[in-house]
Amino acid sequence: MIDLLIIGAGPAGLSAAIASARQGLAVRVIDEFYRPGGRLLGQLHEEPDGVWWNGLDEAARLTQEAIGLGVEIRCGVSVFHLTPSQNFWIVSTTVGEMIAPLLLIATGASEAAVPVPGWTLPGVMSIGAAQVMTNVQRVRVGQRGVVIGINILSVAISRELQLAGITVDRMILPPSTTVSDTAGQPQAVLQSLLRVAHLAPSLMIRWGSKLMRNSWMQKLSMALYPSNGFSMWDIPIQLRTAALEIIGTFQVEGVRIARVAADGSTIAGTEQVIPADFVCIAGGLSPLAELAAIAGCPFAYVPSLGGHVPLHNESMRTPVPGLYVAGNITGIESAKVAMAQGTVAGLSIAKARGKLTNEQRLSDAIQQVKIVRQNATIQFHPDIVAGRALVGKMTAEWIAH
């Protein structure tokens, strides 16, 4: 009999497994992918201090540490149902039922793709798929392509594609529709990019971003934004250009684009077709929380966390007895935050089993999450702290009632 079953072998799940196994718990981790690591497997970027973050190496380190502590890791296993039964969870998987008294869901995030006419053509993929193909499968997604959707994730992955020798012709906006929402509005996109301007390789961009803290400077910059955009790592970022249609007969052959006004509306007479053999669509991330819903966990809709998230407290415990969550299922943040949350969850679960040898470790781990969040190189949402506080308050109120 295992003490803990963890669904998801990403940064949060592996970190939780390590923390709980160190306290003497018998732990099993399952994941539907064929190897552990989750989104770590595709990550590769240079941090402001010049140190490279290599997700493959980090995933290997966590995996080996977990195995060395006796953690059982089973990949290629999908979960399709969860049932609470007295003091146990019955987890229905593709390899049969698994039973555990405590359950941690660390399923991460799912990627959204904004619909663009022609997006069903071969050669069109999500930006996350391009990352996996490039950094995990070592497959070239194409020779020269266009990224539709300008956000923190797509900028980082475009750089990864470039490092693999793939030419990103340009980054442009999706069409401005009710589905694309603010992703098709230049000024809203500019505001999101200002949060990662400190990562820009150009001193001019880093310096200039500091001047655009107020709204009137942002409006002025939109009015003066060059048609060819600004380049980051020689990749043109064109905030005033949008994709109208992906074209091709049997596969991607190009993208029809046009200049857009500050509100995202198309400027007549500016249409043109640019050649491309692949297109990546970046629509952002949202918590992958369906299993928590099946488990009966209450939810809150918090845009600053990326969407609907299961209620949980700072110990990563949900209002459902024996159910814990950690990582991007609780809100979209960096892998380092997910790892810190996983450690908290592992220690919290050890406490629930009566095996936590020093409760100060849990308090220190909770504080460490806040420190990692504060020092995070990349923050996907500006109001993440307020969002976390709201979820904590709602969780306390739910438990109280």
Question: Phi and psi for 217 in degrees, rounded to 5?
Answer: -70, -35
Q: What pLDDT, on a 0 to 100 scale, did the predictor assign at position 194?
A: 63
Q: Is 244 helix (H, G, I), strand (E, B) or coil?
A: strand
pLDDT at 231 exceeding the cut of 90: no
> What CATH number has the domain spanning 114-282?
3.50.50.60
For residue 57, CA distances in Å to 40, 225, 246, 323 come to: 9, 39, 36, 30
Structure tokens at 76: 């290629």
pLDDT at 206 exceeding the cut of 70: no
For residue 66, CA distances in Å to 9, 30, 84 come to: 11, 13, 27
- Composition of the chain by helix, strand, coil, percent to 5: 35, 25, 35
Quote the percentage of the chain above a pLDDT of 70: 90
DSSP state of 383: T
How far is Cα 355 from Cα 54, in angstroms, rounded to an integer?
33
How far is Cα 276 from Cα 231, in angstroms, rounded to an integer?
19
Q: How confident is the model at residue 288 (pLDDT cuts 50, 70, 90)?
A: very high
Closest CA to 128 of 100, 154, 96, 89: 154
Closest CA to 157 of 136, 174, 176, 177: 136
Q: Where are the beta strands (DSSP E) in 86-234?
A: 88-93, 96-100, 102-105, 109-111, 124-126, 144-148, 167-173, 230-232
Instruction: State whether the Cα torsion 262-265-270-276 is positive or negative.
Output: positive
Asked if 4-110+285-400 and 114-282 have one fold, the answer is: yes
> What CATH number has the domain spanning 4-110+285-400?
3.50.50.60
How far is Cα 15 from Cα 351, in angstroms, rounded to an integer?
16
pLDDT digits (tens, 9 = 90+) for 14-58: 999 999 999 999 999 999 999 999 989 888 777 767 777 788 999
Closest CA to 160 of 57, 25, 262, 45: 45
Domain coordinates in residue numbering, the chain? 4-110+285-400, 114-282
Residue 233 gets the label, from left (phi > 0), alpha (psi -120 to 50) or beta, of left
Distance of CA 146 to the CA centre of its chain: 21
Q: What does the mean pLDDT of the chain come to? A: 89
pLDDT at 344 exceeding the cut of 80: yes
Range name among 26-40, 181-195, 219-233, 338-352 with the lowest pLDDT average: 219-233
pLDDT digits (tens, 9 = 90+) for 74-115: 999 999 999 998 899 999 999 999 999 999 999 999 998 789
Is residue 257 within 8 Å of residue 274, measured between CB atoms?
yes
Instruction: State whether the Cα torsion 306-48-279-224 is positive or negative.
Output: positive
Q: How confident is the model at residue 176 (pLDDT cuts 50, 70, 90)?
A: confident
Question: Phi and psi for 297 in degrees, rounded to 5?
Answer: -75, 135
Q: What pLDDT, on a 0 to 100 scale, did the predictor assign at position 225?
A: 64
How far is Cα 310 from Cα 256, in angstroms, rounded to an integer?
40
Q: Measure the N-to-C terminal CA separation of the chain; round to a whole number of Å.
A: 33
pLDDT at 188 exceeding the cut of 60: yes
How far is Cα 300 from Cα 328, in angstroms, rounded to an integer?
14
